[in-house]
Amino acid sequence: MSATLSLVDLKLPCHLGVPDAERRKTQTVLCTAIFPVPSLSRAAAGDDLRKTVNYHTLSKILQAEARRIPRKLLERLATDLARAACRRFRLPWIEIELKKFILPETRHVSLRARFTKVDLR
């Protein structure tokens, strides 16, 4: 049996945008991360956090990575987030969706990408 965990709309304060003026100010991007549970049966049988992904730790890793450096593109931020998550938890894949609130005529601009270990080398 396969299972996934999801962090939905995690707030990521970051410096993001193509114009220098936009990057200078902190903005909040929402991040949804979907990733596999390494072994649902082993985690459930032992009720053991060590047998799964600690989503609290993952949320802190994603927030720290978002703050680490200014970036111009959502694509770069998504890739950096995926790389940090997969490096820490050895995930075979992760799906990242980012929502940026920049265009007044839209609710948000979003990017959704699925990364595998091969993509992140």
Higher local confidence (pLDDT), 51 or 36: 36
Q: Which residue has the tokens 């990017």?
A: 111
pTM: 0.94
| pLDDT tens-digit map of 4-32 | 999 999 999 999 999 999 999 999 999 99
Q: Which domains does the chain have, with CATH numbers?
A: 4-116 (3.30.1130.10)
Say which residues have a Cβ less than 8 Å from residue 30's Cβ, sequence separation at least 6. Answer: 9, 10, 11, 12, 98, 99, 108
Kindly write down the DSSP assignment for every residue of 7-56, as one continuous string: EEEEEEEE-B-SSHHHHHS-EEEEEEEEEE-S-HHHHHHHT-GGGS--HH
How high is the pLDDT of residue 75? 97
Over range 88-101, report the average pLDDT.
95
Q: 1 pLDDT band (50/70/90 cuts)? A: low
- Please give the pLDDT value at position 116: 94
